[in-house]
Every structure is written in structure tokens, then in C-alpha cells.
Amino acid sequence: MPDESPSRIECASRERSTHGLRPVARAAAPKGGASGARPERSERAPSNSPEPGRPGRSEGAGSEPRAGAHPLLRTLAASIRAHRQALGWTRQVLATRSGLSLRFLAEVESGQANLSVLKLADLAQALRVPLASLLAGAPSWTEERAPAPVVALVGLRGAGKSTIGPLLAQRLDVPFIELDTLVQEASGLATAELFELHGEGAYRRAEREALERVVQDGKPCVVAASGGVVTDARSLGLLRERTLMVWLRARPDQYIPRLEAQGDRRPMANRPNALAQLHGLLRARAPLYG
């Protein structure tokens, strides 16, 4: 049988490789002769495409909600994944139906994406479920506000701030402060003199500055404010935001006798209808105190 030449062996090797068979080894060149051309190798390139019926890489366990994710995002991720799998959809299908990118959806299902409300609504619509159902089982909590270190007593003169304040401060084992005293120390004037010489506006500014110093100091205390402190918007804001504001009140007919017992006749001076005016003042300030 005649010997096959190297060129024929190469041709046979190429024919076999085109049919998906492994290429045969190159025949040794005849002694003393030049070697033939290296045969071509046919190797199948690896594919990242998933096999039919099996999830691709983006569907694997790596997309489970991560332990470090926020509890709400972890719950949302698990819910979206469960709804998607219940429909038998791949992530690509859900991405297409919801209009989200495949990469972003992968981040959602791993608990790493903080969705906007609109994107969450798109997912709910694509999954054919109410938006609220995606958050079912989410942890619920209420924002706990740290107790305010300053307890502020407010109310009309005669409500009992100067009487109850020291008792409450003693019970809480904190100092008792009267804003009137701080204003007098800062201005060098008695309250009545400050009103008479500079007007109520000057007093309200001085009172607000004193209140700011108290709350900025941050030390626990009980502070008694003037009856009209709530008429200054900035002071009222400080009281509501930075203190535990407590409204002390009495029956209308109790205010005037209490003030008279303290030697304070300002509410009655030159006011024949003082009690009626007191009723009106209570009605006007009640929404501010409350």
C-alpha cells in the first residue's frame, strides 16, 4: 500500500476537525524532508450563555440578599426574588417587563440598591402584585426621640411655674432655672424696668437669647419661661424642638388671686375687666401652649 504524503494527512485532519472531532496528531515528517504545515486545531470557545432550563451566572446564589444590607432592603430583595420565581421568570424577563436594567435588578435582589418609589412601583406592576405586598414582613420601627434634657414649663403668670418648677427639679435631681432671672442678670434691669424702658420686643429678644443659652448648654434642667414666651416664633420653635414643653394651667378664676398673693398686681392694674381679658388671653394662647 503506498505511503500517504504529509499533505494528505493534513487534509484528513482538517476534515475530521470540521465535524467536531478532535484533530489527529501531525504525522512525522520523512527523514531528511521538510516538515509539513502545522494542522489547524478546532477548539470550542467557552460560552457564558446558560444551558436550557438552567439559570445563568446572574441567577446564582451570589444574588441572595447580603447580610450587610439594610434590613428593609433585605426584605424587599427577598420579596421581589420570591415573586419572580413564583412566576417562573428569569431575572432577564423581569428586567425587560419592568424597564430596569439587568445589572440594577441584580443589585435590587442582593439588597444593595435603594429603589425610588417609582421603580418599586414598576416592579410591582411587572410582577402583577400590589406595591405594599413587596414590603410585607418588612421590619417596622418608630423613631425613638432621645429624651430632651431640658424640661420647659410654660403657661400664664399664676399657673404655678415658680412653685412646681423647683419641686420637679428636686425630684429629677437637676437645677431649676427661671428665664426671668437670666434676663435680669444679662440686662442689669428688673423685668418691669426692661419692659418700661425698652419695650416688650427687647424683653422677648433677651428671653430668646437666654433660652438659646440654656438649650445649647445641653445640661439637664427644669426651666420656667414667661407667660408670653410663646408669642415669639423663634422661642416657641426652640421650646418645641429642643425641650420637653409642659403647659401648666389653672382655672381662670385662680390666676388673679395667686398673683395678688405674690404681690404682682400688673394683670389687674387699670383693668376693670381683668378677668374677662384673662379669659380672652387663655383662648388666644391655648393653641401655642398646646
Question: Can you tell me the mean pLDDT for 228-244?
Answer: 91
Highest-confidence range of 128-142, 143-157, 198-212, by mean pLDDT? 198-212
Q: How far apart are CA 67 and CA 185, in angstroms?
A: 58
pLDDT grade, residue 148 (50/70/90)? low
Residue with cell 420570591: 82
Domain ranges of the chain: 1-41, 65-135, 150-250
pLDDT grade, residue 272 (50/70/90)? low
**Percentage of the chain lying above the pLDDT 70 cut:** 67
Over the stretch 162-203, which tens digit does the pLDDT of each residue have?
Answer: 899 999 999 999 999 999 999 999 999 998 889 889 998 999
Q: How far apart are CA 71 and CA 73, in angstroms?
A: 6
Q: Does position 42 have pLDDT exceeding 70, yes or no?
A: no
Q: Which fold would CATH assign to domain 65-135?
A: 434 Repressor (Amino-terminal Domain) (1.10.260)
pTM of the model: 0.48
pLDDT grade, residue 249 (50/70/90)? confident
- Name residues whose C-beta falls within 8 Å of residue 203's C-beta, 6 or more positions apart in sequence: 183, 191, 194, 195
Q: Does position 44 have pLDDT exceeding 70, yes or no?
A: no
What's the CATH number for 150-250? 3.40.50.300
Q: How far apart are CA 33 and CA 44, in angstroms?
A: 33
Question: Can you tell me the mean pLDDT for 29-52?
Answer: 43
